[in-house]
Amino acid sequence: MITKTPKPPYYAVIFSSIRTEGNNGYSAMADLMVELAKQQDGFLGMESARNDLGITVSYWKNLEAIKIWKDHAEHKIAIEKGRSDWYKSFKTRIAKVERDYEFEK
Amino acid sequence: MITKTPKPPYYAVIFSSIRTEGNNGYSAMADLMVELAKQQDGFLGMESARNDLGITVSYWKNLEAIKIWKDHAEHKIAIEKGRSDWYKSFKTRIAKVERDYEFEK
């Protein structure tokens, strides 16, 4: 469940969000977006957790891969529905991972 | 709940983790670490969510602030307890936020 990413540098898109009430088709679209993201060139993986605040971090090979995914036709529809229906607020941060380290028992 | 951060660049520490069973003093220490982190120079905020996977992203002014916090005496004790007691596995990624944008209804 913790994404195996290659050696840095690579990119992280940190998406923090507060949902509106109700599902309104959100879950089906979220599942579809995960499937579509996995098919993108340069996609390295994704981690997600949600309580009141949701955090999804997707990992990408480079900025170009992030831009192509941002402009993907079905993703653009999802982004639009996110603004109109699913999110009270969100913040997206695009960050270059410079170092990482891990621990496993 | 979504952290108000200054204009990029700034840094994000993305901490993804899988917990062990039971609490074993984790919650009290986690609360203490949040309080201590808030007192650090260069600390900009923190976002957290947990289901099976937990994601905590803390935001920092620069790498030096991250290093000072990593070496903080009480934080080092918490890190050690994390390895011995609280986490099955974790991954820490240090990333430079280059761009961000937000939406609010």
- Model pLDDT, residue A1: 86
The answer to whether B45 faces chain A, any CB pair under 8 Å, is no
The C-alpha atoms of residue B51 and residue B49 are separated, in whole angstroms, by 7
Is residue B12 within 8 A of residue B58, CB to CB? The reply is: yes
- Model pLDDT, residue A76: 96
Q: How high is the ipTM of this complex?
A: 0.96
Show the DSSP H helices in chain A as ranges: 26-38, 63-70, 73-81
Given A18, A55, A95, which is nearest B55 (Cβ)?
A55
The secondary structure element, H or E, covering residue B77 is helix B73-81
Cβ separation B100–A88 shorter than 8 A = no
Q: Single out the residue of B97, B60, B93 nearest to residue A45, CA to CA.
A: B93
Is residue A98 within 8 A of residue A49, CB to CB? The reply is: no
Cβ separation A92–B100 shorter than 8 A = yes
Given A49, A55, A96, which is nearest B98 (Cβ)?
A96
Q: For chain A, which ranges sit under pLDDT 70?
A: none
CA atoms within 13 A on the CB side of B2: 23
The answer to whether B104 faces chain A, any CB pair under 8 Å, is yes
Per-residue buried b or exposed e for A43-67, using 16+ beta carbons within 10 Å of the residue's own CB? bbbbbbbeeebbbbbbbbbeeebbe
**Dihedral Cα B59, B4, B29, B40, nearest 10 deg:** 60
The secondary structure element, H or E, covering residue B58 is strand B53-60
Q: Single out the residue of A103, A100, A4, A1 nearest to residue B80, CA to CA.
A: A103
pLDDT, tens digit, for every residue of B11-30?
999 999 999 999 999 999 99
The answer to whether B7 faces chain A, any CB pair under 8 Å, is no
Q: For chain B, which ranges sit under pLDDT 50?
A: none
- Model pLDDT, residue B1: 86
Phi, psi of B50 (to 5 degrees): -145, 130
- pTM, whole model, 2 decimals? 0.97
The answer to whether B46 faces chain A, any CB pair under 8 Å, is no
The answer to whether A34 faces chain B, any CB pair under 8 Å, is no
Cβ separation B12–A16 shorter than 8 A = no
The C-alpha atoms of residue B25 and residue B46 are separated, in whole angstroms, by 21
For residue A39, the distance in angstroms to the closest alpha carbon of chain B comes to 23
- Model pLDDT, residue B2: 97
The answer to whether B87 faces chain A, any CB pair under 8 Å, is yes
- Model pLDDT, residue B27: 95
